[in-house]
Amino acid sequence: MGCELNPQIPYTEFSVIIKKQKEIIKKLIARKQAQIRKVYPGLSCFKAGVRQIPIESIPGIRETGWKPSGKEKSKEPRDPEQLYSTLKTILQQVMSHQSSWPIMEPVKRTEAPGYYEVIRFPMDLKTMSERLRNRYYVSKKLFMADLQREFTNCKEYKPPESEYFKCASILEKFFFSKIKEARLIDK
């Protein structure tokens, strides 16, 4: 086993090169900070009850050099109201589906003994409705994770031949067709 050294790299001067790079970076940072000394007033939209705003709408953010990453450029609706409206429509469609009855309400301990010992993170459509109304779902991922958790919990607690399991499978397929229609995921 061996190590091959590149003859063009002066390994004996490595620490000197690193120090020079640090100095250059510090100078670049100082120069950039001098350019962005402007102070903007605070955001007042949160006092009006808004819980989230797009990053690019913050005054001065672009001047700092911020650019949206690949994740921010995704198909996630930028407008929180648009996301809310889309998720509300999907949730209403799921709730009105004939196979949604097993996950409509929280599981009662009397109806399913041991459920809360098996299922650590219970979820139901009623809880999701409340969360949606309270603007908990700030991204499609949170919404999809909660609904997927419902299907998983139902399938984990009930045997595959049960009506509950079958309803969860049907509803899961329906849900994925609806989020594809809404273009929240790729087809």
The verdict on residue 170 lying in a domain is: yes
Spatial CA neighbour of 84 closest among 133, 148, 150, 146 = 133
Q: What is the mean pLDDT of the chain?
A: 87
Q: What is the mean pLDDT of residues 128-135?
A: 94
Q: Residue 92: give its domain's CATH number.
A: 1.20.920.10
- The domain of 131 spans 80-181
Identify the pLDDT of residue 77: 54
- Please indicate, yes or no, whether residues 55 and 86 belong to a single structural domain of this protein: no
- Which of 40-54, 77-91, 129-143, 146-160 is predicted with the least confidence, judged by mean pLDDT? 40-54
118: CB partners within 8 A, 6+ apart: 156, 157
- Please indicate, yes or no, whether residues 50 and 101 belong to a single structural domain of this protein: no
- Please indicate, yes or no, whether residues 152 and 84 belong to a single structural domain of this protein: yes
- Please indicate, yes or no, whether residues 152 and 85 belong to a single structural domain of this protein: yes
For 136-185, the pLDDT digits (tens) are 998 899 999 999 999 999 999 999 999 999 999 999 999 999 998 888 88
The verdict on residue 8 lying in a domain is: no
pTM for this entry: 0.59
Identify the pLDDT of residue 71: 56
- Which of 41-45, 66-70, 87-91, 118-122 is predicted with the least confidence, judged by mean pLDDT? 66-70
- Please indicate, yes or no, whether residues 169 and 135 belong to a single structural domain of this protein: yes
